[in-house]
Chains A and B, each alone.
Chain A
Amino acid sequence: MEGGAIKSILVVDDEAVMRDFLFDVLEDFSVEKASNGDEAIAKMKEKEFDLIITDMKMPRVSGEEVVRFARETYPHSKIIVISGYSSLSSVGSALGYGICAFLSKPFTIKQLRSEVEKSLSQGGGAADSGRKNG
């Protein structure tokens, strides 16, 4: 990955407000939005993202599948999971794929920025599955 280039982020959430908010806050990055799992996977097929921020509970194609696809296709992409549930159990099997962080809604801008920065500054992707943040 090139250090100087603007990092690309894919935001996946069925909640429009959350998508817009992430888009607005992460103004320093190249952010693309997807309103569901299908759309996310379609976008990932087009290009590789440095970071994928995805909701877990979405109709039909869930966040788990987005995580699985991302991990299988792009082992170096970083993944942050956001969820309306405060419990980590809602992340389910996605934990096994190695995610960088877990943010439970509602989270502060500070938390978000901190996790995004930490994730993007990490070297490896799939190898590091240890970081979780409530």
Chain B
Amino acid sequence: MNPLNLLRKFALREKFVMVVSIVIVTSMLVISGYLIKRQNEIYHQELAKRGEAMVANLAYNAEYGLILESGEELTDLIKGVAMADDIIYVIITAADGRVLAETGMNLGQNSKLISVAGSDDKMFHPKTRQTLFRSENGMEFIEMSHPVETQKHDISKENLGAVAGHPETQGSSVLETIGEVKIGLTLDNLHREITKSQTAAILLTLMVVLSAIIIMTAFVRVIIRPIESLVEVTDQISKGDLSKTVDVVWKDEIGHLAESFNRMIESLKQSQEEIEEYNRTLEQKIIERTRELEDAQSQLVQSEKMAAIGQLAAGVAHELNNPLGGILGYSQFALEKIESKEIHEFTPKDIESYKRYLRDIENQSRRCKAIVQNLLKFSRTTQTLELQEIDINQVLDETLSFLDHQLMMNQISLKKLYDKTIPRTKGNPGQLQQVFTNIVINAMHASKPGSDIAISTRFLPPLGEFGGAIEVSIADKGIGISDANQKKIFEPFFTTKEVGKGTGLGLSVSYGIVKDHGGEIKVKSRPGEGTVFTIILPLEKRLNSAEITTSRQGV
């Protein structure tokens, strides 16, 4: 696994401590290692210098002893030297290798050679040889060796004056090696020191790491505590609790974060309160807006009514002028006829004629009355409804009997497809007649001569909450109504007829009447194929008593 991935599993605090510990331990190890190595080198050098000085000194002093080959003198010489701590052994050998004096243990013969450091630059004396050994028991030591030399004088060539002053510079004298001094110097002390240093370094590292962890933990607590509290509060907020805030302890970046977080909580709270407030008032606002809309709509309808009055007046005038023409004409004519004769001159045929004139006058007057009533019916804003038990089939038949003549004139035939078993229902026969008349007249105007209009009834039985209804369909095969117009045909004053032929109120009034009956009126049409109007009248129309009373008073 990727170590980074492993790191992800730990908490912030643990990561922090871990990383810092690793850094401290690594740097401590590097520093200690370097220092120990340096210590080792310095100690080694010091030892080597000391050993070299000693061996050189011994070699110088052993000259006479060796010349004399006096073991006693040489032994005395080395005894003093062997007193030193680091010295394991001192050996003086003759040029042929015989040991003339010896002290300590000569480990050199049985030990393993590790390295030979000859007369290198670090040495004071060019002739000193340094060799590193490891004994059988694992002890490391340095053996310093130095040749013992003496001067041989070539007497024949000797210049006596120069002998005392500068012996070595004299070309006539030769240095002769007469023996060797060897000193074994142990590295145990060095190793002990190094071990001590290593232990100290490890202890120091541990102490530093430990104190670092303690300090870090405290520091991290100080840094992380606010972050943790931030996390806690965030959790609470995510659960919808906005009551908590983050404590701002420090003025640092985290403190700023906590402050802005608290501000965020504050604005969240405000938004939440606003939303709640909205929710509380939404319903109220909807009611208000709806009322305003309704007001606007009724104002619109009212102004449309006003705007349509001109058009309506033209239509109404035309509607009235036709019967009035008959009334005025026949009344004048009757009067003229009656005035032209003495009463006794009237023949039965005259009387019959006058009766006919009067009947026409009466009929046309009724027509005028009906027109005026229709106009009043429309102008009344609150409609009244008086219900009685009716047979829809019978209401349809009565309606169609008034229209027979017109249909015949337009060469339109009727197809009655009544369901004779439909139950009686409550309704206002006059108003329903008005609805059926409107729709049939429209169908007639839309139809070509020779086509037919089918009028059918059927019973829709009760189902669940639906209490049953009677459906009346009026279908023609006329020009049809465009989709756009289908949406508007129940609107007041919408008409496709030419000016004066229709007020655009017929279907709108019909819609109102059917709604008053608790029913529905629908249209389905395809241009060029025909139109079907469907009226659904429920069997039960629940009216409250106040409404019934009003309607009785109104009629």
The interface residues of chain A lying within 8 Å CB-to-CB of B314 are 85
- State whether A15 touches B326 (Cβ < 8 A): yes
Cα distance, A8 to B353, chains bound together (Å): 23
- State whether A109 touches B336 (Cβ < 8 A): yes
B327 at the interface (CB under 8 A from A): yes
Within 8 A of B (CB), among A91-117: 104-109, 112
- State whether B333 touches A15 (Cβ < 8 A): no
9-residue interface stretch from B39-47, B225-233, B317-325 = B317-325
Within 8 A of A (CB), among B304-333: 314, 317-319, 321-330, 332-333
- State whether A18 touches B321 (Cβ < 8 A): no
Cα distance, A66 to B319, chains bound together (Å): 22
The interface residues of chain B lying within 8 Å CB-to-CB of A105 are 321-322, 324-325
The listed residue (B329, B353, B449, B500) touching A106 by CB distance below 8 A is B329
Given contacts A17-B323, A18-B325, A106-B325, contact A84 B333 (CB under 8 A): no
Q: Which residue of A lies closest to B367 (CB)?
A: A17
A24 at the interface (CB under 8 A from B): yes
B503 at the interface (CB under 8 A from A): no
Q: Which residue of B lies closest to A20 (CB)?
A: B360
Give the interface centre of B327, B409, B445, B501 by most chain A CB atoms within 10 Å: B409
The interface residues of chain A lying within 8 Å CB-to-CB of B135 are none
The listed residue (A20, A25, A85, A109) touching B318 by CB distance below 8 A is A85
- State whether A85 touches B326 (Cβ < 8 A): no
Given contacts A84-B318, A85-B500, contact A107 B364 (CB under 8 A): no
- State whether A84 touches B325 (Cβ < 8 A): yes
Number of interface residues of A (CB under 8 A): 25
The listed residue (A17, A59, A104) touching B445 by CB distance below 8 A is A59
A86 at the interface (CB under 8 A from B): yes
Cα distance, A35 to B410, chains bound together (Å): 10
CB distance from A80 to the nearest CB of B (A): 14
- State whether A17 touches B321 (Cβ < 8 A): no
- State whether B329 touches A21 (Cβ < 8 A): yes
| Interface bracket on B | 20 to 34
Cα distance, A31 to B318, chains bound together (Å): 25
The interface residues of chain A lying within 8 Å CB-to-CB of B445 are 59
Cα distance, A57 to B445, chains bound together (Å): 14
A119 at the interface (CB under 8 A from B): no
- State whether B324 touches A86 (Cβ < 8 A): no
Within 8 A of B (CB), among A43-92: 57, 59-60, 82, 84-86, 90
The interface residues of chain A lying within 8 Å CB-to-CB of B321 are 84-86, 104-106
Q: Which residue of A lies closest to B323 (CB)?
A: A17
- State whether A17 touches B500 (Cβ < 8 A): no
Residues 21-51 of chain A, each 1 if its beta carbon lies under 8 Å from chain B, else 0:
1001100000000011000000000000000
The interface residues of chain B lying within 8 Å CB-to-CB of A60 are 410, 449
The listed residue (A14, A35, A109) touching B332 by CB distance below 8 A is A109
The interface residues of chain B lying within 8 Å CB-to-CB of A15 are 322, 325-326
Cα distance, A88 to B328, chains bound together (Å): 21
Cα distance, A35 to B319, chains bound together (Å): 17
The interface residues of chain B lying within 8 Å CB-to-CB of A18 are 322, 325-326, 329
Given contacts A59-B445, A107-B328, contact A84 B336 (CB under 8 A): no
CB distance from A112 to the nearest CB of B (A): 8
The listed residue (A57, A59, A86, A108) touching B328 by CB distance below 8 A is A108
Cα distance, A120 to B326, chains bound together (Å): 24
17 A-B pairs within 8 Å (CB atoms) are namely: A15-B322, A17-B322, A17-B323, A18-B326, A21-B326, A24-B353, A59-B445, A86-B317, A86-B321, A105-B322, A105-B324, A106-B321, A106-B325, A106-B328, A107-B328, A108-B332, A109-B329
Given contacts A21-B325, A21-B329, 20 further A-B contacts (CB under 8 A): A14-B409, A17-B326, A17-B363, A17-B364, A18-B322, A21-B326, A24-B333, A25-B329, A59-B445, A84-B318, A85-B314, A86-B321, A104-B321, A105-B321, A105-B322, A106-B321, A106-B325, A106-B329, A109-B336, A112-B329
User: What are the nearest 9 A-B pairs in CB distance?
Assistant: A105-B325, A17-B326, A84-B318, A106-B328, A84-B321, A106-B325, A106-B324, A105-B321, A21-B329
A interface residues with partner B (beta carbon < 8 Å) = 14-15, 17-18, 20-21, 24-25, 35-36, 57, 59-60, 82, 84-86, 90, 104-109, 112
B interface residues with partner A (beta carbon < 8 Å) = 314, 317-319, 321-330, 332-333, 336, 353, 357, 360, 363-364, 409-410, 445, 449, 500-501
